[in-house]
Every structure is written in structure tokens, then in C-alpha cells.
Amino acid sequence: MKVEEKSLEGKKFKSRKVLLGASIGIISIILAIIISNLICSLPIFINSDYCIVIGFWDRIVAGFLTTMWLYGWSLMFGFFLGLFLALLRQYGGSIFSQGATIYIEFIRGTPLIAQLFFIFYGLNIPIENWNILTEFTIFGKEITFVFLNHRILFGIMALSLNSAAYQAEYFRGAMMSVGTEQLLAAQSLGMSRVTAIRHVILPQALRRVIPAWSNEAAYLPKYTVVVSLIGTTELFGQAKTIVSNTFISLSTYIIVAIIFLVTIAIVSKGLDLLHKRTGIPGL
Amino acid sequence: MSEPVIRVVDLWKSYEDLEVLKGVSFELAEREVKVIFGPSGSGKSTLLRCINMLSPPEKGDIFLRGQKITEQGVNLNKVRTRLGMVFQHFNLFAHLRAIDNVSIGLRRVKGMNKDEAQAKAFEALNRVRMAQWVDHYPAQLSGGQQQRVGIARALAMEPDVILFDEPTSALDPELIGEVLQVMLDLAKTGTTMIVVTHELGFAKAVASEMIFLGEGTIIERGSPQHFFVSPKSEIVKKFLKQLEVLYGTHEELLKPPDKENY
């Protein structure tokens, strides 16, 4: 009998892929810096608006890293909290289900800015002197990257709490689409509901949710822009400082837009691949 | 005589206003094959779902080897490991290969380790002649193959009884035979089963008793011999005739078409 053995290798393979992806990301950022600076060193381009903005590439890179930082954590926290909310709403019994529903509807029914301001100004959490940062130099320019201060923390909180509500609904839809018949079959084997949900419903729901969930993965990078309103210097916040220094707004925002476009295209493509990879054979 | 594997006493079940079961009682002895049949909507599937408590009855009692399972506080998950179920639409776990479909219960419910569970699952798949297909996902299998995996999944748990809920009625005609053959083999090796089916050939071959269910009550019961030779009630006669027409054995089919009907 020769079954299995593949799964362990699969996991190693995945973590190697993540590392590979991250290093490709860093390499392409560096390549983008080099190439744009090379082009801008050509005499015909040197005084164009774009090249003046690209002269501030250190701020753009710092902003981009902060945006990705906000995005990554929010998407991840939103994922787990959203999954939890979806489970409560779908299988939690009437009280928990109603609680989850109220949360989801409240978040989806109010503006993100209001939620962010409520957390930032409304909750008086005294952590204003938190500041964990790193400084590094590439190509002679010093870049400051803040891991954690109160703005980043509140930003991630607001984005996660917001994203969770949307993600919860994607998860719930996927769980419903797996159907009660699968649950019945699992229970007929003597599985408890929790075991059945964990081993039968979730593995299928999480596969099915990827195409719909990629919506949230594509929305969220753009939502991080809102966090610039509490003074976080993510990509959009940095763009504003570049504009106030140079008075070149169109080119600056076009560059920002292109960065978002490319990032989200890569995320979408990655999720597409993940969907294909995790697809159930024959389905 | 030892105590029955299953004893159902005066079972009542309704969905909202609709009374589905109105006082059904029967006993199932060890190694017995009970065939339940009757028109659609008569409560056959509901009866099976009551027996394994997937939809608990409102009134009446069910005893599994003397243990009352309709009582409050019974660990139903434990009880269900002893009541195998085969579904009309197979309900295989779509994300798992055949071998994992069969071994998941052994691992997650009976707590076996992976190798042990897979060895056992392989044995069960071998019994339903699916040994070649262990690595296939449900969507890669035909309906008949899927149903045989479904049977193996129930079988691997070594239940006291297997409940079959119209196991062949969702299958294309040419696939029914392979499933029935597996069920015949099981019946002949002494598996205790309750089978809801309209496969009268199967009933004739192995049923120890047939129960005709109509509108939630047992209309008539008896040996296959009884039903095929001298059914008593009119409903049963009519129903059996309809089945014969359906399966093409009835002489009416061979008559030339009536001109007035054109």
C-alpha cells in the first residue's frame, strides 16, 4: 500500500515559496529603484516632473514598505478574526450568531475613517511614546522604517477590525456552499460538530473562498491609504510630503497609482495560482 | 434469542405541520437485512435519520442493543459510530481521496494513528472492490464507485448496523449493479443492515423482512415471498405494479399503445 508521504514535503515547499516570493519582492524593489534612476539620469528626462518625484525614491520606498506592513498584518488579523466571526455566525447558535451579525453589520455600515478616528481619538490608550523603528541605508540614502508606534498600531487595529467583517461574509458564504450534507455525513461517522467543521467543512470552505476572498486582498492595500489621515507615513502619506516639497501632484500620484496597480496585480495573480494549486482534483 | 440490535418503539416525527412518521415500531435482529420501501414522502429517509438521531424523533424510543438512545444525556457521537450510514447522494468528503474518506472517521473519531487507520481503510475499500482507486478524489470517480467508497466509509467504522438511504436511486442504471453486488456480499457475510430501496431484486435475494411504509405508518410487513406472491393491501399491490412497470417487467409495457391516448 503506497499512499500519502506528499503532505510534509508540500509544507516545506510552501515555506520555501514564501521566502522565494519575499526575496523576489525585495529584488524587484531594488531593480525598480535602479532602473528608474538610470532612466532619469538620461539628459532628456532629467528635468521632467516624474524624475523630480523619483528623486524622492527613498520616501516612496519607505512609504511602500509601511503600506505593505499595514496591509500584511491587517489581512492576517482580519483573516483569523473574520474566520472566527464567520464560524460564530454560521454555527454559533442564536446568541453568538446574533452577536457576530451585529458586529459585521455595524462595521460594514459605518465608514472606515469613522472607525479609525474612533480608535485613534476616541479610545484613550496611552501608548504615544511607543516607537520601534529601524534605519537602513540603500544607495546612499537613509530610510527609516517604523515597525510599531501608536499610529501604526491603531491603523492596523482599525484595518483588521474592518477587514474581518468583510472577510467573515466571504467565509460564511463559502461555508454555506459546502452544504449541510457534508456535515451530516461527518456526524454520521460519529464526529462532533467541532471536529466535522474543522476537518470537513473548513478544508473545503477555505479552498472555495479564495476567488471571492481575493476581492478583500485587492481592496485592503487601497484602504491603508486612509491610515495616512492619522499621520502614518505610508505610501500616500509620503506622497503628500513629496507634493508639498515639489508642488508636483499629478506625477506623484500617478507613480503611487502605478505602485498600487502592480502590487495588487501581483497579489491577484498569486491568489489565482494558490487557487489552482489547492484545487481538488476532478472538480 | 439475544436482544435485537435495534428496537424502534412507536416513533413519531413531524416537520412543522407535516406529520412524517406516525408511530413506527420494529425490531432488527443480529445479521438481519431489513428492506424498507414505499412511495416517496412516506417517511423512509426520515425513519433512518431518526434512527441515527441526525433528526431526533419527537416521540417514541430507539434502543441500540438495549441502550435507549432517545434519552437525554446520551453521547450521540458515540452512538453514531455504531450506526453506519450510506447516503443517497454519497456525501463523500470532496477534498479527500477515497482512502482518506474512509480513514477520517477512524482517525478523528476512533483516534487511530494514520498508518493503522489507512490499513483498515484499505481493507474496507478492498471489500467494496475499490482497492485500485484509493488515491482518487470523489470527483474523479463514477457514481457507483463513489457509493462504494461511501459503503466502505461506513463499513470501516465496524458499526453494529449500516443504514442505507436509497443507495442506488441517484445512480445511472448501468452503475446500480456494482453497488447492489457489494451490498449483496455484505448481506451474505452477515452484516446487519436496514436498506431503504426500491430494488426488489435485492430485497428478494437477501431481505429477511420487508416493511412497506405509507404516509408514516407501516402498512404491511412480511417476507419477500409474501410481498411478491400475495400482498394484502391495495396500496401495496398498486405500488408493486408501478415498480414492475418502471423496471419493464410488467406485461402492460408490451401491449401495443392504446390508440385513444394519442
**Residues of chain B with pLDDT > 90: what percent?**
82
Alpha-carbon gap: A183 to the closest alpha carbon of chain B (Å) = 9
For B28-59, letters b (16+ CB in 10 Å) and e give bbeebbbbbbbeeebbbbbbbbbbbbbeebee
Look up residue A200 and give its DSSP letter.
Answer: I
Q: Which of A3, A182, A282 sits opposite B140 (nearest CB)?
A: A282
Shortest Cα distance from A280 to chain B (angstroms)? Answer: 6
Mean pLDDT value across residues B61-89: 94
* Position A9 confidence tier, pLDDT thresholds 50, 70, 90: very low
Helix crossing, B143-156 with B114-127: angle to 10°? 130
Tell me which chain B residue has its CA closest to the CA of residue A203.
B95
Q: Name residue B150's amino acid.
A: G
**Of B213, B165, B233, nearest in space to B241 by CA:** B233
Q: Assign residue B218 a region: left if phi > 0, alpha if psi is -120 to 50, beta otherwise? A: beta
Please list every residue in chain A whose beta carbon sits closer than 8 Å to the beta carbon of residue B97.
3
CA A95 to chain centre: 31
Q: What is the mean pLDDT of residues B231-240?
A: 91
pLDDT value for A136: 87
Mean pLDDT of B77-82: 95
Buried b (16+ CB within 10 A) or exposed e, B169-185: eebeeebbebbbebbee
Residue at A177: amino acid letter? S
DSSP string over B238-256: HHHHHHHHHTT-SGGGGSP
CA distance A227 to B243: 70
Q: Which chain A residues are within 8 Å of B135, Cβ to Cβ? A: 3
* Residues above pLDDT 70, as percent of chain A: 95
**Residue that wins the pLDDT comparison between A163 and A129:** A163
Per the structure block, which three cell numbers stand in for A263? Answer: 502590487
Comparing B49-63, B83-97, B198-212, B240-254, the range with the smallest average pLDDT is B240-254
Collapsed DSSP state (helix, strand, coil) of residue A104 = helix
C-alpha cell at A97: 450568531
Confidence bin at A179 (pLDDT 50/70/90): confident
Q: What rounded mean pLDDT belongs to chain A?
A: 89
pLDDT-based confidence at A2, cuts 50/70/90? very low
Report residue A86's pLDDT band, with 50, 70 and 90 as the boundaries.
Answer: very high
**Tens digit of pLDDT for each residue in B251-261?**
665 565 555 54
Task: Using pLDDT thresholds of 50, 70 and 90, give the confidence band for residue A227.
Answer: very high
The average pLDDT across A224-239 equals 93
Please, are residues B53 and A187 in contact by the beta-carbon 8 Å criterion? no
Partner residues linked to B62 by β-bridges: B8
pLDDT-derived band of residue A4, with 50, 70 and 90 as boundaries?
very low
Residue B260 has a pLDDT of 53
pLDDT of residue B254: 56
Rounded mean pLDDT, B206-210: 94
Phi, psi of B162 (to 5 degrees): -115, 130
| In the predicted structure, residue B68 carries a pLDDT above the cut 80 | yes
Query: Which residues, 6 or more positions from B75, have their beta carbon under 8 angstroms from its beta carbon?
Result: none
Per the CB < 8 A criterion, the answer to whether B171 and B117 are in contact is no
Interface test with B, best of A189, A210, A275 (most B CBs within 10 A): A189
Q: Is the pLDDT of residue A23 over 60?
A: yes
Q: How far is B115 from chain A (nearest CA, A)?
A: 10
- Report residue A77 as a C-alpha cell: 488579523
Q: How confident is the model at residue B243 (pLDDT cuts 50, 70, 90)?
A: confident
For position B251, what pLDDT does the model report? 62
What does the pLDDT read at residue A111? Answer: 96
Return the closest-CA partner of residue B237 out of B252, B253, B220.
B220
Q: How confident is the model at residue A14 (pLDDT cuts 50, 70, 90)?
A: low
Written as one string, the DSSP assignment of B203-222 is HHHH-SEEEEEETTEEEEEE
CA distance A95 to A99: 6
Q: Residue A221's pLDDT band (boundaries 50, 70, 90)? A: very high
Decide if pLDDT at A7 tops 60: no
Q: Please, are residues B27 and B218 in contact by the beta-carbon 8 Å criterion? A: no
Stretch among A51-55, A104-108, B255-259 having the lowest mean pLDDT: B255-259
Question: Are B94 and A204 within 8 A, CB to CB?
Answer: yes
**Tens-place pLDDT, residues B175-191:** 999 999 999 999 999 99
pLDDT, mean over chain B: 91
Classify B164 as helix, strand or coil.
strand
Closest Cβ opposite residue A3 in set B85, B118, B153: B118
Q: Is the pLDDT of residue A11 over 60?
A: no
Per-residue pLDDT at A13 exceeds 80:
no
Average pLDDT of B128-153? 96
Q: Do B97 and A189 touch (CB under 8 A)?
A: no
Q: What is the pLDDT of residue A124?
A: 77
Residue A260's pLDDT band (cuts 50, 70, 90): very high
Candidate from B54, B137, B141 with C-beta closest to A188? B54
Please name the residues in contact with B78: beta carbons below 8 A apart, sequence gap of 6 or more: A190
Residue of A124 and A269 predicted with greater confidence = A269
Residue B14 has what pLDDT?
92
Reported residue count of chain B is 262
**A40-44, A237-241, B2-6, B197-201: least confident range:** A40-44
CB contact under 8 A, A203 and B95: yes
Chain B residues touching chain A at CB-CB below 8 Å = 52, 54, 77-81, 83-85, 87, 89, 91-95, 97, 99, 104-105, 108-109, 114, 118-119, 122, 134-141, 153-154, 157
